[in-house]
Amino acid sequence: MTVHILGEKTSVLNTFISEIRDKNIQKDTMRFRRNIERIGEILSYEFSKSFKYKNTPVTTPLGTKDILLSENEIVVCSILRAGLPLHNGILNYLDNAESAFISAYREHISETEFKIEVEYFASPTLENKTLILADPMLATGRSLVSVYEGLKKYGTPKEIHLACVIGSEEGINYISKHFPKNTNLWIATVDNKLDDRGYIIPGLGDAGDLAFGKKL
């Protein structure tokens, strides 16, 4: 798996990362969602550079011009519910992409132990397509792997791109053992530790709760 950490280079991306982390700014739920969406747009711009392109004639009022346009058939799959703002950001740049939605959540066995429950799938065929799997928080990596295993019944993608906002080194190491070698991970920033409950430190908190309110 190839890992692309976009926040290692200086850009306006760092402003959005700082704001979603800031415990005072993140209280503005609309701003939090919009910043996740904007990070999704930046990730999309970067991974779109790896797509396959073909010269396509475009007719203007004064003539024609060949423009390199993507040939990829794309499916964007998001993990509910935290993935929705990221999903919207990706779709802002990939106009013709299809969408898939998956539910995955932690079922806690104890304070520090949990299993991943995946209960809902809605997806078009993935056969020979470009799969963009979007999840803002890459903590342990177990959610992404569980979702990928569940998606296999919809076909084999030609290529896989993982789009994440914040991850842990442990989570990246875990998913690298379970996804195909030609998978690309595009991530805004990486933290180096998890706490005893499997949450990213310093991270930002619970992305789903910050975007949509606390769940029961």
CA-wise closest residue to 136 among 32, 49, 213: 32
Element (H, E) at 170: helix 169-176
CA-wise closest residue to 75 among 188, 173, 160, 202: 160
Give me the pLDDT at residue 114, please: 62
pLDDT at 48 over 80: yes
Give me the pLDDT at residue 72, please: 98
Q: What architecture is the 2-51+72-212 domain classified under in CATH?
A: 3-Layer(aba) Sandwich (3.40)
Residue 56 to residue 80: CA distance in whole angstroms: 36
Residue 3 to residue 161: CA distance in whole angstroms: 10
Mean pLDDT in residue range 136-158: 93
The tens digit of pLDDT for each residue in 67-101 reads 999 999 999 999 888 899 999 999 999 999 999 99
pTM: 0.92
Give me the pLDDT at residue 106, please: 62
Give me the pLDDT at residue 81, please: 84
pLDDT at 108 over 70: no
Residue 130 to residue 133: CA distance in whole angstroms: 10
* Confidence at 51, pLDDT banded by 50, 70, 90: very high
- Provide the residue ranges of all domains of the chain, joining segments of one domain with +: 2-51+72-212
* Confidence at 115, pLDDT banded by 50, 70, 90: low
The CB-side HSE value for 176 (13 A sphere, CA atoms) comes to: 13
Name which residue leads in pLDDT, 3 or 107. 3
Give the E-state strand segments of 29-183 in sequence order. Answer: 53-60, 63-70, 74-80, 98-108, 114-122, 130-134, 137-138, 159-168
CA dihedral 16, 105, 162, 204 (to 10 degrees): 20
Q: Is the peptide bond before 81 cis (omega within 30 degrees of 0)?
A: yes
Give me the pLDDT at residue 118, please: 75
Cβ atoms of 105 and 120 closer than 8 Å: no
